[in-house]
């Protein structure tokens, strides 16, 4: 019997495993980098062990340090979570060699399937050799790990070498393994996967399908179970291939076999020898706890002959601290509040007041809705996201709501090209037109309560300015004998945290929260602006500013001040939240300033370079 589990991971998945362990009466141990010293998973565990440093390569990817932490803390088992070392056969062996129970598949199975090239060979699929024009487009893909890291779509043969270099660098940083391979890129297919669970007694459960087609940068955004619209023949083929993959490597534990479905056929992609981020939708549909079952399998228990019967439909959305309208740029800062309506499952590695840093994935939480039908589950999740309190940095919340309500998704006609086609429309700013007024009235009410606002003599209107979705909004209101007033609406109530307005006979209530200059009015995020602009913020045309905090990892080869650059030419690369972000020249001209060198850490808005355009 397992008594103490160390989770060799961080954030949401560590918290999720701890929850099941605690319910089972199992003690828990966390490991943490210096950046995660006060993270939620560190605080939730019964014990925590420091891994010195902040970079993943120095901390969560150091299997030797993690095993040493487990023995020091008295753990007798290790759960790898997902990402990091979860598909590292050497780490699994190190755990068992130390006399600890490995809560995962046998190292031999990991070795066979963790490398996508070896997995394809087992399934009789050969990767591309020398790439020609006839092969385009192709996909460059990391052999180890997942989550879209180390992955590049190449449409021009001239770009292949550069993309191979970038993919290798990103894969080495994320997984400690820079091996990549090239395969044909199937346009606009559906990403469908099969959840399996196997014990050490020969039983393999097939726990249905999931559709994960809504992706950005090859990372999943919305997932659901079961995958809608698959006919019986295709579903049977998916199940048979998944079981064949599991039995080929004597699999044990939870795993996922992934496919690209196109033209009515299932194309094998890979087998993930670990728990998936999207496992909660399968848990909801089958009424099971996959982590609890992982623990039972690791203890040697046999599964029942048949899995439970599925019920209803479940949909999951990943809430990211990122700006989809700005190249999916990750966001950092204080998460002031995160709360969702009742009836929605929330898996997160954050709580109110936590800081979102630059070192790790920007996922804040996963929200899961379960209902008797797909339409009901989708509607429930969209409504919950719309009503959720997400106070802090910019997130993809609005994008998720619009995606779930998009006709292509509601009719189950989506594919992996969904955001390529619809991102512009889905990120079109649509702030609530009354939100700035509600913010101003809430602020005025708070100030009036402290200092008094009404004057006996007539005075001009009060003016406040806010930035909303990149646009400036100016609002005007008055202090009157009977309270606050504004043109065109009736102010029914105005308190520091709640404003009720009536316009055209319709009464609406707004919940308002303010954190310094950052204001949240329901789902609208505003920034209070000063009365007069700051003249020191003026920048020269052609200035390239860091779009997010991060580290300069590369500068274009041979690039120096005075060089001539072309519009769109890559100048340097920033790494933030485990992803590389390319900074390109805004215009054709001369590089007059370069303030970046590899290893330099920059804050958002830092001046990286200046390009003087040919026209001046």
Residues carrying an active site annotation: 274
Q: Which of 199, 265, 190 is nearest to 226 (CA)?
A: 190
428/366 Cα distance (integer angstroms):
24
223/191 Cα distance (integer angstroms):
10
Bridging pattern class, strands 483-485 and 471-480:
antiparallel
Residue 19 φ/ψ region, left for φ over 0, alpha for ψ in the -120 to 50 degree band, beta for the rest: alpha
Residue 470: partners with Cβ closer than 8 Å, 6 or more residues away: 429
Q: Which of 576, 571, 538, 537 is nearest to 555 (CA)?
A: 571
Tokens at 554, concatenated: 């590369």
Place of tokens 């046999």: 302
Residue 187 φ/ψ region, left for φ over 0, alpha for ψ in the -120 to 50 degree band, beta for the rest: beta
Contact present, 499 and 489 (Cβ < 8 Å): no
Contact present, 365 and 354 (Cβ < 8 Å): no
Bridge partners (DSSP) listed for residue 192: 211, 259
Full DSSP string of 435-459? HHHHHHHHHHHHHHHHH----SS--
413/421 Cα distance (integer angstroms):
13
Task: Put the strands of the sheet holding 607-613 in their side by side order.
Answer: 543-545, 607-613, 589-594, 564-565
Q: Round to the nearest angstrom and report the end-to-end CA distance of the chain.
A: 73
Q: Which of 119, 227, 135 is nearest to 183 (CA)?
A: 135
User: Helix or strand or coil: residue 545?
Assistant: strand
Contact present, 68 and 95 (Cβ < 8 Å): no
Bridging pattern class, strands 47-50 and 27-32:
parallel
Q: Which of 119, 221, 213 is nearest to 416 (CA)?
A: 213
Residue 555: partners with Cβ closer than 8 Å, 6 or more residues away: 571, 572, 573, 594, 596, 597, 598
The helix (run of H) or strand (run of E) holding residue 149 is none
Place of tokens 């056929």: 265
Residue 430 has a CB neighbour count (10 Å cut-off) of 10
Number of residues that make up the chain: 616
Place of tokens 């698959």: 230
Contact present, 413 and 406 (Cβ < 8 Å): no
Secondary structure string (H, E, C) spanning 300-323: CCCCCCCCCCCCCEEEEEEEECEE
Tokens at 214, concatenated: 């809504």
Q: How far is CA 191 from CA 149, 168, 242, 267, 462, in A?
A: 17, 24, 14, 10, 54
């Amino acid at each position: 019997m397992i008594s103490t589990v160390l989770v060799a991971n961080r954030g949401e998945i560590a918290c999720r495993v701890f929850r099941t362990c605690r319910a089972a009466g199992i003690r828990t141990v966390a490991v943490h980098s210096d950046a995660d010293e006060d993270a939620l998973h560190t605080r939730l565990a019964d014990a925590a062990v420091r891994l010195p440093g902040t970079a993943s390569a120095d901390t969560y990817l150091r299997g030797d340090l993690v095993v040493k932490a487990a023995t020091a803390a008295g753990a007798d088992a290790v759960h790898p979570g997902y990402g990091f070392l979860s598909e590292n056969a050497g780490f699994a062996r190190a755990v068992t060699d130390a006399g600890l129970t490995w809560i995962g598949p046998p190292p031999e199975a990991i070795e066979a399937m963790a490398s996508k090239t070896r997995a394809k060979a087992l399934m009789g699929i050969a990767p591309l050799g020398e790439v020609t024009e006839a092969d385009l487009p192709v996909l460059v893909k990391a052999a180890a790990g997942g989550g879209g890291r180390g992955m590049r779509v190449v449409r021009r043969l001239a770009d292949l070498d550069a993309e191979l270099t970038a993919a290798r660098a990103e894969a080495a940083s994320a997984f400690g393994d820079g091996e990549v391979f090239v395969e044909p890129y199937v346009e606009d297919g559906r990403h469908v996967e099969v959840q399996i669970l196997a014990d050490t007694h020969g039983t393999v459960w097939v726990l249905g399908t999931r559709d994960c087609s809504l992706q950005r940068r090859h990372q999943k955004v919305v997932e659901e179970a079961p995958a809608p619209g698959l006919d019986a023949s295709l579903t049977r083929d998916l199940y048979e291939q998944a079981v064949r993959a599991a039995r080929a490597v004597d699999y044990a534990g939870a795993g996922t076999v992934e496919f690209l479905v196109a033209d009515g056929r299932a194309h094998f992609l890979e087998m993930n020898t670990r728990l998936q981020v999207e496992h909660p939708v399968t848990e909801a549909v089958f009424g099971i706890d996959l982590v609890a079952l992982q623990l039972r399998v690791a203890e040697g228990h046999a599964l029942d002959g048949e899995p439970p019967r599925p019920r209803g439909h479940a949909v999951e959305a990943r809430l990211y601290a990122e700006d989809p309208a700005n190249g999916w740029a990750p966001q950092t800062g204080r998460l002031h509040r995160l709360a969702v309506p009742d009836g929605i499952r929330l898996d997160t590695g954050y709580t109110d007041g936590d800081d979102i840093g630059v070192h790790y994935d920007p996922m804040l939480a996963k929200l899961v809705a379960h209902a008797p039908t797909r339409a009901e589950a989708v509607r429930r999740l969209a409504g919950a996201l719309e009503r959720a309190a997400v106070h802090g940095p910019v997130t993809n919340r609005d994008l998720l709501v619009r995606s779930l309500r998009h006709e292509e998704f509601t009719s189950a006609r989506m594919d992996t090209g969904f955001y390529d086609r619809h991102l512009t429309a889905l990120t079109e700013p649509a702030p609530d037109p009354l939100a700035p007024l509600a913010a101003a009235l809430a602020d005025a009410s708070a100030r009036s309560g402290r200092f008094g606002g009404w004057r006996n003599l007539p005075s001009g209107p009060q003016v406040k300015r806010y930035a909303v979705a990149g646009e400036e909004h100016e609002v005007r209101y008055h202090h009157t004998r009977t309270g606050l007033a504004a043109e065109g609406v009736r102010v029914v109530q105005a308190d520091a945290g709640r404003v009720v307005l009536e316009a055209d006979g319709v009464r609406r209530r707004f919940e308002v929260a303010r954190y310094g200059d950052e204001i949240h009015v329901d789902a609208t995020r505003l920034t209070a602006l000063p009365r007069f602009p700051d003249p020191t913020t003026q920048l020269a045309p052609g200035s390239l500013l860091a779009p997010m905090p991060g580290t300069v990892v590369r500068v274009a080869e041979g690039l120096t001040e005075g060089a001539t650059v072309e519009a769109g030419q890559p100048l340097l690369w920033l790494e933030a939240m485990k992803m590389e972000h390319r900074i390109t020249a805004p215009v054709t001209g001369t590089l007059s300033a370069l303030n970046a060198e590899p290893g330099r850490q920059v804050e958002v808005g830092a001046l990286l370079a200046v390009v003087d355009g040919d026209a001046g």
